[in-house]
Amino acid sequence: MKRLILTSSLALGAAMLAAAAAYNLAYAHDSLTVAAPPKPPMGGRLLNRETAPLQPFAVPPADAALSQRIAAKGSPSADDQLLLRGAYLARAGDCVACHTSKGGAPFAGGLALASPLGAIYSTNITPDKEHGIGDWSYEDFARLMRTGVTRAGYTVYPAMPYPSYSRLSEEDMQALYAYFTKAVPPSAQANRANDIPWPLSMRWPLSIWRKLFAPTPTPYAAPAGGDQELARGAYLVEGLGHCGSCHTPRSTTLQEKSLRDDSSRLYLSGGQVVDGWSVPSLRNEHGGGIAGWSQADLVEFLRTGRNQFTASFGAMNDVVEHSMQYLSEADLNAISRYLLSLSPRNDAAPYRYDEVSATAAYEGRPQTPGAALYLDRCAACHRSNGTGYGKAFPALAGNPVLQTGDATSAIRIILQGGRQPATDSVKGGLVMAPYAQLLNDQQVAEVTSYIQTAWGNRGGTVSAADVAKIRKTAKPVEDRAP
């Protein structure tokens, strides 16, 4: 027992000596203390963007059934090569997105296209002889593509981007005609009458519009001695890709204010609302454009609908799923290089991350009702500091969509949810659930205003009235690609 007491006493004494030594060390001269490491910035501490370079990728066939049929024959003939080229060009033009209704046969038409005049329904462009273009000659086809005049002699609505298609080369036009008349399966689906009331439904004013605003059909000619990659990008963007149809502002008479880059810098400058979504600028500018993106960033966005800065939504999902993912790496690089060559139209300063709101949110001190709603409903995916989780949940801090005064897209995504595109290289399209049934107009306005102004974002605030207008047309997102 005495030995046990002695041992315990020795242990207690040692512990007291150790504590005293620690106390003395803690209050010793400054030269003997170790300073705590500096606290890293909020953005740097939580930043989780994926910036790994793109890996080489296999391009899915533009028309898998056609490719299989030709492969089964062995060595492809010249006619086979023409059909394959036509299939590729049809993807580059994203023809299937407009000329296919939900659940309908490819290229059989019937999709409603919204316009200020009313709904315009796309037509059947399969080789069906009664409802499609099966009995059209090449001249009939080329005339429509270049001038907007049908075989029957009337002018189509400019919902068909024939001002852009007028720049196609003769070789590409021949390939497209061959594909649509010889390779696409015919469909007997009847064309649907447009929902445009009389007298706006009269066709003769369209011929006047065409003569006033449509360009003289002239195939694109690359500048002599110019950069071939830039020229290829310009050809695809200004012509078959018809990017200006959505991304270039239109006049009150509905024509695009510019069909190619010029001194006005209006081409692809965005700013309007199309199908309920605010359209971003595709120019190399800050404040809503693509300044700060590398060529690889832009290629990745076109191919997958996501990159370290943002994710696609709305009609751009269709462009990625039905068109861009099928383009070659060379063409995607050409498009990206051309877009990055477009000079800025605005004088916005570069985005700079502001960690004040991030620090408050991270420490559980929301400063506004919108910040509290964000922490409760959004931070689990997009993080309290707004940087998201890699490319799965897009960053909101610095997101180009949140750098303009038009919050239409942000409000719509919150109300109806969003879906990332599913592609051959990124199989799963993650879905953001809609909040229309969970948040009222004032709450949506508060959280929208927060994400538009937090973390250094330069977007404006919105009101409950702004939300109420958009709520009228908001539809819950589908949980998978159509």
Per residue in 161-220, pLDDT (tens digit) is 999 999 999 999 999 999 999 999 999 999 999 999 988 889 999 999 999 999 999 999
264 and 238 together in one domain: yes
Domain residue limits at 234: 229-340
267 and 391 together in one domain: no
Contact 415, 470 (CB under 8 A): yes
310 and 366 together in one domain: no
Would you state the pLDDT for residue 227? Answer: 93
pLDDT more than 90, % of the chain: 73
Which residues, including other chains, have CB under 8 Å from residue 137's CB and lie 6 or more apart? none
Would you state the pLDDT for residue 296? Answer: 95
Of the three residues 159, 185, 213, the one that is the final residue of a domain is 213
Structure confidence at residue 18 as a pLDDT band (50, 70, 90): very low
Angle at alpha carbon of residue 341, lines to 335 and 344, rounded to 5°: 125
Number of domain units in the chain:
3
Cα 260 to Cα 120: distance, rounded to the nearest angstrom: 26
68 and 197 together in one domain: yes
Task: Give the sign of the dihedral formed by CA 423, CA 399, CA 343, CA 264.
Answer: positive
Structure confidence at residue 454 as a pLDDT band (50, 70, 90): very high
In a domain, 8, yes or no: no
| CATH number of the domain bearing residue 400 | 1.10.760.10
Structure confidence at residue 16 as a pLDDT band (50, 70, 90): very low
Cα 129 to Cα 135: distance, rounded to the nearest angstrom: 5
383: helix, coil or strand? coil
What's the rounded mean pLDDT across residues 132-146? Answer: 97
159 and 124 together in one domain: yes
pTM summary value = 0.87
416 and 446 together in one domain: yes
Contact 295, 303 (CB under 8 A): no
Of the three residues 181, 213, 245, the one that is the final residue of a domain is 213
At 426, list the tokens.
């990124």
Per residue in 203-247, pLDDT (tens digit) is 999 999 999 999 999 999 888 888 999 999 999 999 999 999 999
DSSP 404-421: SS--HHHHHHHHH-EEPP
240 and 198 together in one domain: no
In a domain, 39, yes or no: no
Residue 56 has pLDDT above 90, yes or no: no
Cα 117 to Cα 429: distance, rounded to the nearest angstrom: 34
In a domain, 166, yes or no: yes
336 and 418 together in one domain: no
Smallest CA-to-CA distance from 326 within 456, 423, 252 is with 423
Would you state the pLDDT for residue 312? Answer: 94
Residue 324 has pLDDT above 60, yes or no: yes
79 and 207 together in one domain: yes
Averaged confidence pLDDT in the chain? 88
In a domain, 114, yes or no: yes
Of the three residues 213, 240, 274, the one that is the final residue of a domain is 213
